[in-house]
């Protein structure tokens, strides 16, 4: 009976150490300053071109700020909403299909874009001056510095 208790205690300690290791690895991964190492979730299988988070090559001020993706340009479609980060780090950006999936819920880095072609999108910006927002191809004016904005975007036509 003494050996069984020791084995059980050893397994408990091993499980505890494993939980600590997993927690530390998760914390290090969450605090990693390299955004390229974070994998983006795949888009829904039913509509692969509906949401396109992408990073635009930072070549300076001549980089195309509102260039749609190649597939969108080829089809002539304008995204319902396009959000582009204009600072080195942009606070939380949240995009969600009304009554559906969360498309984006994280910080963005300079020149990174996220767009959606869904009919109605809820948008929440922690700092509306940090990002450039296009709604159906038209630039939405930013709010005051540090202002949080919440709005719903609907597709035209």
Please state, for a pLDDT cut of 70, what percent of the chain lies above it. 71
Which pLDDT value is given to residue 49?
41
Query: Cα(86)–Cα(38) distance, rounded to whole angstroms?
Result: 20
Task: Work out the average pLDDT over 77-92.
Answer: 92
pLDDT tens digits for range 112-146: 999 999 999 999 999 999 999 999 999 999 888 88
Backbone angles phi, psi at 55, to 5 degrees: -110, 130
Q: Please, what is the end-to-end C-alpha distance for the chain in angstroms?
A: 76
pTM above 0.85, yes or no: no
Using CA atoms, how far apart are residues 91 and 128, in angstroms rounded to an integer? 9
- Token pair of 15 as six digits: 């499980």
Alpha helices in 1-157 (DSSP H): 2-30, 70-75
Q: Report the alpha-carbon distance of residue 101 to residue 103 in Å, rounded.
A: 6
The answer to whether residue 61 scores a pLDDT higher than 50 is no
Q: What confidence score (pLDDT) does residue 26 get?
A: 86
Query: Average per-residue pLDDT in the chain?
Result: 79
- DSSP classification of residue 60: S
CB 129 within 8 A of CB 144: yes
pLDDT tens digit string along 120-129? 999 999 999 9
In this predicted structure, the answer to whether residue 22 has a pLDDT above a threshold of 50 is yes
Would you state the pLDDT for residue 28? 82
């Amino acid at each position: 009976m003494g050996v069984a208790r020791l084995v059980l205690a050893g397994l408990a300690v091993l499980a505890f150490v494993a939980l600590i290791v997993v927690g530390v690895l998760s914390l290090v991964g969450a605090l990693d300053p390299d955004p390229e190492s974070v994998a983006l979730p795949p888009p829904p299988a039913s509509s692969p071109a509906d949401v396109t988070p992408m990073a635009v090559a930072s070549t300076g001020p001549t980089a195309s700020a509102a260039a749609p993706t190649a597939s969108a340009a080829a089809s002539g479609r304008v995204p319902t909403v396009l959000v582009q980060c204009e600072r080195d780090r942009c606070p939380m950006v949240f995009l969600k299909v009304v009554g559906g999936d969360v498309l984006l819920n994280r910080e963005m880095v300079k020149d990174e874009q996220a767009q959606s072609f869904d009919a109605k999108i809820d948008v929440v910006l922690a700092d509306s001056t940090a990002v450039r927002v296009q709604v159906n191809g038209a630039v939405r004016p930013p709010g005051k510095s540090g202002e949080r904005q919440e709005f719903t975007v609907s597709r035209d036509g």
